[in-house]
Structure 1
């Protein structure tokens, strides 16, 4: 009974309490077959259903797309792009590394260790990759199309040119204040001919005289050639000026021997020589520019300005060169280089660029891009090297100045830099005293070349990077892109700083009160050695001025106008640009007002004009900038410099007029803005001083008590329509200064009478 009762009770309990349902195994996603038949699946591969029926078990599920995974995919692709960029940059840098390897052994005698380290650093900088996701190598920058004075067509200038910077200012005024200007209005309101023939009227702005050279008969004059003694005078000027400080492409002894052989019996006339003609033309251009305008008629005749002095010799040189172009020689290349120099000093920028391009092709034809063979004499080997690197200098200078692509590409085939020691100087044909420490008059040319190698490396790295960011915005409106570009340039500018630290002391101008050359700290007065020859004083001064001009141009893209993102590094670069312009202005002003070193030196005027417009743009862009007071004072010095140059250069008078108009209007606009400044904290001022190396010498009169840079709101300059239009017109006049010369002054009527007087009449 008991057992039966117990069994019955258990059964009853088991029946009344249901067994808990077994939990179904969770499956992330059923396989394709189970989903198609809508049956349960499991986590095994293959699943039980597919295994039992012998079918294929597959799961083609798409990975769910969520924001974190999207970010991870973007980062993966970005890293892949950077890896591909590194591979591409590595291939491109192989040629540049070969060039640097050849220059390692060219250390400055007094500091071989320093120069070797510098070469190694430059080699590393060339192989560095743009570690930025913004843009891509070999990117595209904008430029500006300008209608030059003597053509209805437009000419393109790149982003590093002063034309582009002035165009940015003009575009800022137009876009911000709804002032519309056609391309004709923007350019050439003060065309070249008006600087010489009188002011242009409003009605004549669209009817510029565009006669061809062969149609300019009413301006043709009788050819004005010199006597033997006069030619000798200007040849001597050339050896003391362009030969030592710009283009040492001639052997002085060989040239003089060639010159003597040209004179026929009686000494009243000489045979035509393209090389002699262009050297005489350069001597006349420089010699005439040293004189005040009241005395220039003895040199330039009726040409009205020393800029085109010697044009008859230049034209005859061109005519003679035509016979050599099919089978060029070393003399042909020398003429092309010197013609480019003559045209550049005469502000014929595009013609100079064309001659430089021709010089590049001629250099390749002559095989100068190859290391000279050992079978040549040491003198001939060094001559070929100096010619090649002078072509490199000329092309680099014009390419960076006008913002146009280079024709020369650095490669393993590039010859080593020329020697500049005592042996090389002895075989150069010139008799200049050595500088000590195995330095000679040729050492300037080598240091000059190294400077442009460093500058060109920074220039190429910066402008090969696309201006636009990944989202299509420009550098000036996208903060990450702006920071990336600023960091990129700052990294490559170290090459120029290393070059400045390695320049031999014999090639630097001392400073009073223990000042440092090549520094942008509050500059001290120059301490020019009164017992040094003029050519050496000029070499020292020009080397420093070229350095500041190059640095100013490289930093200038970071001067931006209107509302812009706040970037500390970019703003520091803008300040450095202004500091280099200020330093260049102070050096030029002291040299002109206390010495004769720069008298007649056209390139010094062009650098000063470049600095003046850069400072004007800086003051307009940053009315509360850190160096506003110093920049404004430097503009006053610019005006004094132009007044001094105006005694010899007609174009300097126009430059002074333009800058005076601009700064008067900008001062009126900046003063109300400066009154609303917010004081800087002392720590911020100290930070800026440590970064830029600049401290205001007179804080009480400084306008830099405001913020470091203008903010995007309370610092904008307020202009009415009339003021904007007036500013716009004045900026448009500035385009004419760099291309002011009148082609009718350069080209006479090339009739048979002119050619016959030169022994060149008849057919080609």
Structure 2
């Protein structure tokens, strides 16, 4: 209103952004009103007085330049010179300079997954081309190779990528999750990977510690075993890990010939049917040449380790007298029987390190089995390194020479793949890297001889199927870890249990790759499969009972049962990482894999319980206890994570059966007594969680971060005072260290061997059922 009254004109129209400097006013308005001073102060007088424009303001005459089109990846030249690139092909910079543009018209982002796929594609192509070359039998001649001299100035400044020794260094750091825990007689903690039972125990302990609101303790769920009280099977006390065992000599004769032959005869009907890596005829000729009299023979590392492992087995057939008032005769635990023979074997092997032979490798194989039975898992794993390297030194991983007989070729194959299968199996059990790259092995798989395609005493079918089963499980194991690496690379290395969507992707991948194991099942011969009641299917989890009446022979029955239990244990371990304690909502593949793990654990428990109560087929084999303990902790974990699932009730009943199995095995193996105690205690705690969940009073909130901790960060919630030593089991038996003392010549003997003139002949009938 003021403006119109004084100047007679309306003000200029308002805009979003007024440019005062571009306004122009009539001359009559200049300096006629005091208010105009604040406007003219911003106006260029030379232009405002001379303008003839009739408009009051003008728009800017220049427009901003168009934005450059972004590209996802620059070409090689632009990326090297650090200049801007565009989406053209060739790009503007390369076209102007006349350079070849290496983008090839694509600007896709290169990821780790794409690199893995490309590597697999190239490896497959290389294998295909190598197969074609071998099929044609053409090898490039040396004369056809044209050599071009290389001048010093023409050398490349650095090695190509495929020759760089550190190109893949640390490439797996995102998916190699591990846990450090003390499982041996040492203050140093040992490392175990994601697929190991120790890693799962760490996760389970973390969850139960939060759910039960228990303070953190120093030890996780551990069993009383010899390895937790003694540093080595060959020391006399727990304080001298590097001391030579007292009373061990390479020249002494500990048993007379008839006693040793008793144990060796037991070997051919037990471990030889599972690991046929010794030619019986050659061995018997060698053994006969060692004896100079009925009571003296030359030292032999192979004979010593076979006697030691058979003493382990035979002592497990006899109930142990561990009550306070019972007399102590010989060993008090079958796991450490034959330790003097084992110690002497190691002393003899020390002289063969530089020049190993086939016999050296055979000794290493059965030393690994002996150590594993005695619960020295880390020592056994380290001994496997000796075995693998010995096989490589002997060239067993290569194709056999053509001038060898067919029998010798198959023997070399069987020897190599047996030790390699043991290495793969232990690596998967402990969650550690594999020792040998499969691409470096050219030795083909062994085959059963043509004369042994039907059931028989010398049948090698079990060994062939054993190796194929381990290889099938290894393929799923490798895919599992590769998928973990791929997923973790996409989510910045966070743990799988912090991102359940990514865990679901891994679970789906593993579930699909289980078809490899089903393919193996279909090619197993029928005569080696264990028979089931009511048309039950072997290698399945239909929980059908065994038909032990239809077994052909004890040896063949044992082979079928061991093969089925091993398959169930391997599959259970592959499914177990998907038991997730931090889940809230259902996750299809994760939940299905967890249920499959529990189903295999239930099947293992049912089979072992029926066989131990109805027959003696599996009595004396320490690995049966290891499978049962592995199944028990899987059941405990599933019940804790899925307390209200339909399978939880069956799992609880199976856990009670597992305790019964531990009681049965505990009569012969003292570590099983410790397992029964632990299982009873933990089952009560888990049942309490089930009651809370059933009554909807469980308000436990488990932080996923606790489940994803690795290394020394695991909260350690459960501990038992008796876990640190064997003294709780050996109460009333005197000094625990004395059981490893070799001073008394009868301590290393079996209970029935103290009086060879009487008890030895009487107990010979104990092994009658082993004859097949």
Considering the TM-score relative to the shorter chain, is it more than 0.5? yes
Residues 215 and 717 of structure 2 are in contact (CA less than 8 Å); yes or no, is this contact kept in structure 1? no
1:334 equivalenced with 2:362 (yes/no): yes
Deviation at 1:653?
0.6
Residues 238 and 737 of structure 2 are in contact (CA less than 8 Å); yes or no, is this contact kept in structure 1? no
Residues 478 and 565 of structure 1 are in contact (CA less than 8 Å); yes or no, is this contact kept in structure 2? no
1:475 equivalenced with 2:489 (yes/no): no
The counterpart of 1:628, out of the listed 648, 651, 658, is 648
Distance 2:677 2:333 in 1: 18
Deviation at 1:263?
0.3
Structure 1 match to 2:411:
383
1:447 equivalenced with 2:472 (yes/no): no
1:728 equivalenced with 2:728 (yes/no): no
Larger mean CA deviation between 322-331 and 456-465 belongs to 456-465
Structure 2 match to 1:27:
none
1:263-412 residue pairs with structure 2 within 5 A? 263-264=291-292, 266-294=293-321, 302-411=330-439
CA separation of 1:419/1:99 partners in 2, compared to 1, >3 Å: closer, same or farther? Answer: farther
Residues 371 and 379 of structure 2 are in contact (CA less than 8 Å); yes or no, is this contact kept in structure 1? yes
1:673 equivalenced with 2:673 (yes/no): no
Say how many residue pairs are matched. Answer: 591
Distance 2:361 2:328 in 1: 27
Deviation at 1:479?
2.8
Deviation at 1:483?
1.5
Distance 1:257 1:295 in 2: 41
5+ residue gaps, structure 1, are 1-37, 43-58, 67-71, 103-134, 197-207, 426-432, 678-709, 717-725, 755-764
Higher helix fraction (1 or 2):
1
Structure 2 match to 1:518:
539
Distance 2:244 2:393 in 1: 35
Distance 2:117 2:599 in 1: 34
Deviation at 1:85?
2.6
1:86-235 residue pairs with structure 2 within 5 A? 86-91=117-122, 139-174=174-209, 180-181=215-216, 184-186=218-220, 192=226, 210-212=239-241, 214=243, 225-235=254-264
SS in 1 for 2:438: coil
Residues 504 and 590 of structure 2 are in contact (CA less than 8 Å); yes or no, is this contact kept in structure 1? yes
1:484 equivalenced with 2:512 (yes/no): no
Distance 1:176 1:77 in 2: 48
1:6-85 residue pairs with structure 2 within 5 A? 61-63=67-69, 81-85=112-116
SS in 1 for 2:436: coil
Distance 2:129 2:724 in 1: 40
SS in 2 for 1:212: coil
5+ residue gaps, structure 2, are 1-59, 73-86, 88-105, 134-169, 231-236, 705-714, 748-772
1:567 equivalenced with 2:596 (yes/no): no
SS in 2 for 1:214: coil
Structure 1 match to 2:562:
542
Distance 1:307 1:621 in 2: 34
Deviation at 1:357?
0.9
CA separation of 1:727/1:166 partners in 2, compared to 1, >3 Å: closer, same or farther? Answer: same
1:416 equivalenced with 2:444 (yes/no): yes
Residues 308 and 338 of structure 2 are in contact (CA less than 8 Å); yes or no, is this contact kept in structure 1? yes
Q: Deviation digits for residues 444-500 of structure 1, max 9, x if unmatched? A: 111111111110010011123327351443212313211110111112111011211
SS in 2 for 1:157: strand
SS in 1 for 2:439: coil
1:493 equivalenced with 2:499 (yes/no): no
CA separation of 1:500/1:194 partners in 2, compared to 1, >3 Å: closer, same or farther? Answer: closer
Residues 98 and 412 of structure 1 are in contact (CA less than 8 Å); yes or no, is this contact kept in structure 2? no
Structure 1 match to 2:139:
none
Distance 1:565 1:551 in 2: 25
CA separation of 1:446/1:612 partners in 2, compared to 1, >3 Å: closer, same or farther? Answer: same
CA separation of 1:575/1:223 partners in 2, compared to 1, >3 Å: closer, same or farther? Answer: farther
SS in 2 for 1:292: coil
CA separation of 1:191/1:327 partners in 2, compared to 1, >3 Å: closer, same or farther? Answer: closer
1:714-725 residue pairs with structure 2 within 5 A? none
TM-score by length of 2: 0.69
TM-score by length of 1: 0.70
